[in-house]
Structure formats: structure tokens, C-alpha cells
Amino acid sequence: MHPDLEKLIVLQQLDVEAKRLREEIAARPKRIAELAAKAKAASAHKATVLDRIAKEETLRRQQELDVRDHQAKIARVRRQMEMATTTAQVAAFEHEIAFEQAEVSRLEDAELESMERSETLENQKAAAEDAVEDSAKTLERERQRADEADARDQAALAEADAKRSALRPEIGETALANYDRIAKGKGTALAEAVNQKCTACQMMLRPQRWNDLRNRDNDEEMMACESCGRLLYYDPARDAPQRKTVQSESIAASIVRSL
């Protein structure tokens, strides 16, 4: 294997790791903001339920006052009816009493309906209070977790960046420029070839190239995948059929350790 290629493999691992850490750090505030929005929505829902409960109570107080008014009127009309002198007057008073009684029935029915709505709202209130409490707890817990994870990731990122800075000057200028150019376009510049395939784009290598790649004497030249353009490397310890019984650590791991 070309000596620069070994270092590039490590560089790519560090680059991929640094990118992953940066993405995780960047994604956290968004997740926290989502949880904060949920907590806010839960509070708003609870306020709406409490407001509706208060409105039902106000409505029922008014209905009770109205019922009392109508009942007082019925009593008044009854007293007037006792002093009525004609059948027509009695009929008019009876008509008025019937009207007032119908109003009382209507108001009492409406009051019952309001009580049923209140009962439903009381259930909603309990659920809304639970939701407020849960969402606040979740937010607080996730904020704390995010702070801890950020601190961990920032430390890991600083370490990866330091390793990258130490490694890059040790790589040949041309190889490094090539790496940077391909990585910029493709996200990754290197791909391992396993079972005669580029593991990045899954295209088969032509048999001659596969043989060249595996030839240990061929250390001068870096080979690129003819399909995706990434630089190919081959790790005999990782290729089939020994793949499942690999004991020795990979070349890459040993370089990382030595940094």
C-alpha cells in the first residue's frame, strides 16, 4: 500500500468523525427548540382548558340567577292570578306562567349540559396538567443531556481536529491535494475495495485492477475507482473469506493509536 494512503485512511476516519460530531452538535439546539415549543403548546392548551372551565362556571351562575328571576315571576303572577276576576285574565296569567315554566326548564337543561361540558373539561384539565408537567420535565432533562453531550462532543472534536492537524503535514502534498479535492466533491475521498467491489459506489472492479490493487509490490501508485473516482485501498485482513475471523487490528487503528 502507498504510504500516504495509510495516512489518508486515518485522515478520512478523523474527517468523518469530526463531521459527525459537528452535525450532532449542530442538531441539538433544534431538538431542544422543538421540545421547548411542545412545552409551550402544552401550557397554552392548559390555559385554554382553564379558561373554558371558568366560562362554563360563569355561564351556570348566570343561568341560576335567571332561573330564580323566572321563579320569582311565576310566584308574582300566581299572586296576581288569585285576584283575577275574569276567565280571560286567568287564561292570560296561566299562559304567562306556562311560558315562564318553559323558560325555567330550558335553563335547567342548559345548566345540565354545561355541567356535562365541565366534567369533560375537568378530565381535559387533568390531562393538560400532566402534559405540562411531562413536557417541562422532558425539556429540562434533555437540556441537561444536551449540555453534557455537547461537552463530550466538543472534547472529542478538539481531539480529532488536533490529530488531523498533526497528521496532514505528514502526507505528501499531491496526495493530500487529491484527497481534499475528491472529499470536497464526494464527501469522502477514499473507499475500501472488498470482494472486488468499491464499497462506496458498489461497482465491481475489473479483474486486472483488482489484482493490481491487491498486489503488495504495487506501492507507488494510488488507484481510483473508475466509477466514482474515489481512491481505493485494500486491507487483506478485512477481505473475505478471513473477514469474520480478523484478530489483528486494522492498519488504520494502529496509526490512530500512534498519533
1 versus 201: smaller Cβ distance to Zn ion? 201
**What whole-number distance in Å separates Cα of residue 36 and Cα of residue 143?**
10
Q: Is 131 in the site for Zn ion (CB under 5 A)?
A: no
The least CB distance from residue 12 to Zn ion, in Å, is 14
Which of 227, 235, 238, 239 lies at the binding interface for Zn ion (CB under 5 A)? 227
Task: Decide: helix, strand or coil at residue 98.
Answer: helix
Retrieve residue 200's grid coordinates.
462506496
Which of 25, 228, 255, 259 lies at the binding interface for Zn ion (CB under 5 A)? 228
Which amino acid type is present at position 120? T
Q: In terms of C-beta distances under 8 Å and separation of at least 24 residues, what long-range contacts does 57-61 make, across chains too?
A: 57/118, 59/114, 60/111, 60/114, 60/115, 60/118
Task: Decide: helix, strand or coil at residue 253.
Answer: helix
Q: Is 201 in the site for Zn ion (CB under 5 A)?
A: yes
Q: Which range in 20-28, 125-133, 156-164, 224-232 contacts Zn ion by CB under 5 A? A: 224-232
Within residues 63-122, the interface with Zn ion by CB under 5 A covers none
Q: Is 39 in the site for Zn ion (CB under 5 A)?
A: no
Q: Is 25 in the site for Zn ion (CB under 5 A)?
A: no
- Site mask, Zn ion, residues 152-191, x = CB under 5 A? ----------------------------------------
201 versus 255: smaller Cβ distance to Zn ion? 201
190 versus 252: smaller Cβ distance to Zn ion? 190
Name the CA radius of gyration of the chain, rounded: 40
Answer for the pair 192, 210: CB distance below 8 angstroms, yes or no.
no
Answer for the pair 132, 46: CB distance below 8 angstroms, yes or no.
yes
111 φ/ψ angles, rounded to the nearest 5 degrees: -65, -40
Up-side HSE of residue 52: CA atoms within 13 Å toward CB? 19
**Size of site (CB under 5 A) for Zn ion:** 6
Q: Is 198 in the site for Zn ion (CB under 5 A)?
A: yes
Within residues 239-258, the interface with Zn ion by CB under 5 A covers none
Q: Which range in 63-71, 116-124, 153-161, 222-230 contacts Zn ion by CB under 5 A? A: 222-230
The least CB distance from residue 19 to Zn ion, in Å, is 20
**What whole-number distance in Å separates Cα of residue 210 and Cα of residue 160?**
32
The least CB distance from residue 223 to Zn ion, in Å, is 11
Closest C-alpha to 234, from 28, 5, 17, 24: 5
139 versus 225: smaller Cβ distance to Zn ion? 225
Q: Tally helices (H) and strands (E) across the chain.
A: 5, 4
55 versus 197: smaller Cβ distance to Zn ion? 197
Note the residues at the interface with Zn ion (CB under 5 A).
198, 200-201, 225, 227-228
